[in-house]
């Protein structure tokens, strides 16, 4: 491809060193760009960044909090990565998270008292079921009527969040309470803590490993790869594409529903309005930056969790907390651009059509 | 009662126009083959940039110019990523959504809760506004609404009847053949994406410059997504988009008003209406059970690479 004096050539392979180095360079460039915006708003970017990093990562307390903040992101990221593995745009992790929390939280608050492990198991299954069922609406429409899953999952987000709002302001609202939240769930439903973090992080890592094994070493994972590369050839090969759309969507939704499980049992210990708080959307960024690799999702989530966690620190300096979202967006835009440079060799020709520089 | 109906219809039009700018912009962008999922973020950037300008200058024309400029620049970046760098359009759209909602909240923090001194006021058009019922509904509105009366037929005419419109349609259907015929596919896609983003930004400005005169974080509240689904719903036709926007506007405003008469139903269920309606409308208009040709541009979301055609 040639645009003006610049020639792009597709590279066949990308070295591992470049694959790792490139995103890091892009993140640094994104931070440099954002610092311009920070300066324009009258703050000192270096002081802001230093405060963010030291608050979120350079002490045990901060690191634990960052991991806790990252927990729902891990599950939402895994959910999105799962769906993207088959080129399904599940933008609905936010809503699936909410419905998962409603299913599990409802059991925790109104359900019968069972022994702790059984309690947690039932809640785990209910959260996964809730998220999975909510995702199935889009999956069925996609599989049988080819209705665009992007828009359907998006609309379902708003419906789910409004329903959560309704429950928390209405029938589920705790007595003598002015904020929209339920009563705390019984102690027997708390996920045990692990040092300063929730043990949900072990669950996330375990599920990420299972997912990786499933995608890399099973027939199902292989067939998902075939469908991603070409739906038509998958159909010729006799792979039941419709069934896979349903299965992958159900799994993806269940993973997002589990974000509700870890948040309710491990962090907030109640159900409240606006519980997902954008994790479903951030999960998309996380999944993309991780190149849809489940284990990398865990790492990137912790980074983003730290970013969200650090808002509290910079707010004391007068910096708006929206800086975290802004940084996430900027990082993503720069990484998208950098991804291209990874796959193409760029040659610049001067006016005389002579090769001048190569990258 | 009739006063109530007139005011509901007039409010429905204001609501419809605030999503229609974005929907028409997105129709142009998608007709050119580029899907921009970042509408919500770009609307927020339009809303905040318009509001910031008007707070500092009290000049609405300047504010509108700033909004168009911000939209254009965002469009330029989006086109660079998707057209030149051929990045995944869905992922880029989400990046713009997150970037826009974050940055708008960041730069708008200081003006949250402040009211601007000026906003687009309703102007009654002489004679026309005197027509019973219709006049009050259609011709007692603000400038942004009146612009739309011109934009809808004009864009419909442009897409369906003119030569550049024909080229635009081909851009989304078969860019390779256009390229062979000597049209600069890349430059045209840049133009339409930038136009689409500028229109989307105006949609956001409708909210802060005419609907209200203050700024709040995330105040588009999902309107961008309704605009996005309106594009498929209207089968990529500005005329149908206008009808669809009126329908959604009507549903939303009716929901708000019904609340007063049927207080037994919680407000959240009324707020769900437009989103549920979008899903139903989408199933009806694009579900494959209809066995008719889908109007979706064939090259939508596809990367166009010269060597790989």
| Cβ pair B99:A332 closer than 8 A | yes
Closest CA to B75 of B25, B33, B31: B25
Closest CA to A279 of A296, A295, A263, A299: A263
Given a contact cutoff of 8 angstroms between Cβ atoms, the answer to whether A50 and A285 are in contact is no
> Could you tell me which chain B residue has the CA closest to the CA of A87?
B90
The residues in B 225-244 lying below 8 A from A, measured between CB atoms, are 225, 228-229, 232
Q: Taking the alpha carbons of B284, B286, B290, B292 in that order, is the dihedral positive or negative?
A: positive
The pLDDT value recorded for residue A347 is 65
Which of B106, B224, B271, B304 to mutate to test binding with chain A, by most A CBs within 10 Å of its CB? B106
Q: What is the largest CA-CA distance in chain A?
A: 81
Chain A contact present for B291, CB below 8 A: no
Pairing relationship of beta strands A355-358 and A344-349 according to DSSP bridges: antiparallel
Given a contact cutoff of 8 angstroms between Cβ atoms, the answer to whether B197 and B42 are in contact is yes
Q: How far apart are CA B36 and CA B196, in angstroms?
A: 9
Selecting from A141, A322, A337 the residue whose C-beta is nearest the C-beta of B105 gives A322
Tell me the DSSP string of A201-233.
Answer: HHHHHHHHHHHHHHHHHSHHHHHHHHHHH-HHH
Q: What is the largest CA-CA distance in chain B?
A: 65
Q: How far apart are CA A331 and CA A129, in angstroms?
A: 33
Name the stretches of chain A with pLDDT < 50. 354, 356-359
Number of H helices, E strands in chain A: 14, 6
Which chain B residues are closer than 8 Å to A146 by Cβ? Answer: 286-288
Which of B39, B76, B99, B292 to mutate to test binding with chain A, by most A CBs within 10 Å of its CB? B99
Closest CA to A126 of A258, A268, A265: A258
Chain A contact present for B98, CB below 8 A: yes
Which chain B residues are closer than 8 Å to A336 by Cβ? Answer: 81, 85, 87-88, 91-92, 95
Closest CA to A262 of A172, A131, A84, A153: A131
Pairing relationship of beta strands A2-3 and A6-10 according to DSSP bridges: antiparallel
| Cβ pair A320:B105 closer than 8 A | yes
Alpha helices in A175-293 (DSSP H): 200-217, 219-229, 231-236, 241-262, 279-289
The pLDDT value recorded for residue A358 is 45
Q: How far apart are CA A214 and CA A220, in angstroms?
A: 7
Q: How far apart are CA B41 and CA B307, in angstroms?
A: 34
Which chain B residues are closer than 8 Å to A285 by Cβ? Answer: 94-95, 98
Mean pLDDT by 10 residues, chain B (309 residues): 80 92 96 92 96 93 96 96 88 91 91 86 82 82 91 94 92 86 89 97 94 88 87 88 91 80 80 85 78 72 68
The total number of residues shown for chain B amounts to 309
Q: Which ipTM did the prediction report?
A: 0.87
Nearest chain A CA: its distance from B69 CA (Å): 17
Q: Which helix (H) or strand (E) holds B198?
A: helix B185-206
With vertex at residue A258, the alpha carbon angle to CA A257 and CA A263, rounded to the nearest 5 degrees, is: 105
Number of H helices, E strands in chain B: 12, 2
- Number of CB atoms found within 10 A of residue A258's CB: 31
Reduced to 3 DSSP states, what percent helix, strand and coil does chain A have, rounded to the nearest 5?
A: 70, 5, 25
- The residue with tokens 């405003």 is B253
> Could you tell me which chain A residue has the CA closest to the CA of B304?
A1
Q: How far apart are CA B146 and CA B130, in angstroms?
A: 16
Please give the radius of gyration of chain A, using alpha carbons only, rounded to the nearest integer: 22
Nearest chain B CA: its distance from A325 CA (Å): 4
| Cβ pair A284:B306 closer than 8 A | no
| Cβ pair B81:A336 closer than 8 A | yes
Token pair of A278 as six digits: 């954008």
Q: How far apart are CA A131 and CA A80, in angstroms?
A: 13
The pLDDT value recorded for residue B243 is 93
Chain A contact present for B103, CB below 8 A: yes
Which of A166, A319, A322 to mutate to test binding with chain B, by most B CBs within 10 Å of its CB? A322
Given a contact cutoff of 8 angstroms between Cβ atoms, the answer to whether A94 and A253 are in contact is no
Burial class (CB in 10 A: 0-12, 13-18, 19+), A4: exposed
Burial class (CB in 10 A: 0-12, 13-18, 19+), A357: exposed
Strand partners, B303: none
Token pair of A218 as six digits: 């099973």
- The residue with tokens 């994972």 is A221
| Cβ pair A151:B307 closer than 8 A | no
Nearest chain A CA: its distance from B268 CA (Å): 6
Which of A30, A155, A282, A336 to mutate to test binding with chain B, by most B CBs within 10 Å of its CB? A155
Which chain A residues are closer than 8 Å to B96 by Cβ? Answer: 329, 333
Tell me the DSSP string of A39-107.
Answer: HHTT--HHHHHHHHHHHHTSSHHHHHHHHHHHHHHHHHHHHHHHHHTTT-----HHHHHHHHHHHHHHH
Tell me the DSSP string of B82-134.
Answer: IIIS---HHHHHHHHHHHHHHHHHHHHGGGBTPBPS-----EEPTTGGGSTTH
- The residue with tokens 């635009």 is B168
| Cβ pair B287:A41 closer than 8 A | no
Q: How far apart are CA B60 and CA A180, in angstroms?
A: 39
Chain A contact present for B2, CB below 8 A: no
Closest CA to B199 of B172, B171, B170, B230: B230
| DSSP state for residue A344 in the 8-state scheme | E
The pLDDT value recorded for residue B309 is 47
Selecting from A155, A320, A325 the residue whose C-beta is nearest the C-beta of B229 gives A155
Closest CA to B306 of B170, B166, B177: B177
Given a contact cutoff of 8 angstroms between Cβ atoms, the answer to whether A113 and A188 are in contact is yes
Closest CA to A155 of B136, B246, B271, B72: B271
Q: Phi, psi at residue B237, to the nearest 5°?
A: -125, 120
Instruction: Give pTM, 2 decimals.
Output: 0.88
Selecting from B94, B225, B272 the residue whose C-beta is nearest the C-beta of A285 gives B94
Which chain B residues are closer than 8 Å to A282 by Cβ? Answer: 98
Which region holds residue B120: left if phi is over 0, alpha if psi is between -120 and 50, else beta? Answer: beta
Given a contact cutoff of 8 angstroms between Cβ atoms, the answer to whether A189 and A123 are in contact is yes
The pLDDT value recorded for residue A345 is 66
Q: Which helix (H) or strand (E) holds A355?
A: strand A355-358
Cβ pairs A/B, distance under 8 A: 152
Contacts of B293 (CB under 8 A, 6+ apart): none
Token pair of B9 as six digits: 């219809």
| Cβ pair B98:A145 closer than 8 A | no
**What three-state secondary structure class fits B262?**
coil
| Cβ pair B286:A162 closer than 8 A | no
**What three-state secondary structure class fits A351?**
coil
Q: Taking the alpha carbons of B290, B292, B294, B295 in that order, is the dihedral positive or negative?
A: negative
Q: How far apart are CA A48 and CA A143, in angstroms?
A: 48
- The residue with tokens 């990367």 is B303
Closest CA to B9 of B133, B141, B137, B135: B137
Chain A contact present for B255, CB below 8 A: no
pLDDT digits (tens, 9 = 90+) for A282-318: 998 899 888 889 999 999 999 999 998 888 888 888 8
Given a contact cutoff of 8 angstroms between Cβ atoms, the answer to whether A163 and B268 are in contact is yes
């Amino acid at each position: 491809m040639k645009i003006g004096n610049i020639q792009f050539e597709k590279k066949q392979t990308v070295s591992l060193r470049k694959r790792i180095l490139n995103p890091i360079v892009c993140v640094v460039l994104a931070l440099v760009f954002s610092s311009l915006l920070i300066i324009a708003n009258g703050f000192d970017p270096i002081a802001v960044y230093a405060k963010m990093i030291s608050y979120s990562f350079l002490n045990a307390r901060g690191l634990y909090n960052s991991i806790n903040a990252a927990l729902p992101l891990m599950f939402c990221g895994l959910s999105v990565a799962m769906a993207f593995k088959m080129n399904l745009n599940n933008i609905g992790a936010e809503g699936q998270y909410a419905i998962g929390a409603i299913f599990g939280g409802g059991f925790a608050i109104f359900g019968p008292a069972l022994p702790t492990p059984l309690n947690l198991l039932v809640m785990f299954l209910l959260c996964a079921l809730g998220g999975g069922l909510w995702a199935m609406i889009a999956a069925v429409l996609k599989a049988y009527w080819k209705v665009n899953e992007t828009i359907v999952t998006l609309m379902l987000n708003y419906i789910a969040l409004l329903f959560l709002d309704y429950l928390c302001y209405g029938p589920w609202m705790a007595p003598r309470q002015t904020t929209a939240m339920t009563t705390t769930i019984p102690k027997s439903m708390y996920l045990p803590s692990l040092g300063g973090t929730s043990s949900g992080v072990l669950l996330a890592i375990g599920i990420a490993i299972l997912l990786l094994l499933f995608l890399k070493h099973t027939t199902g994972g292989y067939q998902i790869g075939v469908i991603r590369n070409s739906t038509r050839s998958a159909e010729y090969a006799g792979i039941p594409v419709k069934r896979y759309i349903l299965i992958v969507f159900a799994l993806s939704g269940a993973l997002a529903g589990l974000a509700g499980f870890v948040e309710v049992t491990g962090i907030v210990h109640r159900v409240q309005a606006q519980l997902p708080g954008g994790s479903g959307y951030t999960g998309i960024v996380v999944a993309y930056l991780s190149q849809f690799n489940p284990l990398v999702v865990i790492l990137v989530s912790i980074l983003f969790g730290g970013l969200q966690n650090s808002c509290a620190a910079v707010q004391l300096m007068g910096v708006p907390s929206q800086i975290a979202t802004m940084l996430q967006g900027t990082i993503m835009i720069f990484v998208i651009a950098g991804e291209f440079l990874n796959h193409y060799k760029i040659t610049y020709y001067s006016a005389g059509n002579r090769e001048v520089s190569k990258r | 009662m009739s006063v109530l109906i007139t005011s509901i219809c007039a409010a429905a039009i204001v609501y419809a126009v605030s999503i229609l700018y974005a929907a028409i912009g997105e129709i142009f962008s998608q007709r050119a083959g580029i899907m921009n999922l970042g509408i919500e973020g770009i609307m927020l950037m339009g809303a905040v940039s318009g509001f910031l300008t008007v707070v500092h200058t009290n000049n609405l024309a300047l504010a509108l110019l700033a909004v168009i400029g911000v939209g254009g620049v965002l469009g330029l970046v989006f086109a660079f990523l998707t057209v030149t760098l051929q990045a995944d359009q869905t992922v880029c759209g989400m990046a713009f959504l997150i970037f826009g909602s974050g940055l708008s909240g960041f730069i708008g923090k200081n003006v949250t809760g402040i009211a601007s001194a000026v906003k687009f006021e309703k102007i009654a058009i002489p004679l026309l506004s005197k027509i019973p019922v219709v006049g009050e509904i259609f011709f007692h509105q603000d400038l942004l609404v009146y612009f739309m009366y011109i934009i809808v037929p004009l864009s419909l005419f442009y897409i369906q009847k003119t030569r550049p419109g024909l080229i635009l349609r081909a851009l989304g259907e078969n860019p390779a053949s256009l390229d062979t015929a000597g049209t600069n596919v890349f430059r045209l896609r840049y133009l339409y994406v930038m136009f689409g983003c500028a229109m989307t930004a105006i949609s956001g400005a409708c909210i802060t410059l005419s609907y209200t005169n203050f700024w709040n974080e995330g105040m588009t509240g999902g309107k961008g997504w309704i605009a996005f689904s309106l594009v498929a719903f209207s089968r990529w036709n500005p005329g149908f988009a206008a009808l669809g926007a009126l329908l959604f506007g009507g549903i939303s405003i009716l929901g708000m008003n019904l609340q007063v008469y049927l207080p037994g139903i919680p407000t959240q269920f009324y707020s769900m209406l437009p989103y549920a309606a979008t899903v139903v409308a989408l199933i009806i208009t694009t579900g494959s059970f209809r066995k008719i040709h889908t109007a979706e541009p064939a090259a939508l979301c596809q990367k166009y690479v010269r060597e790989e055609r």
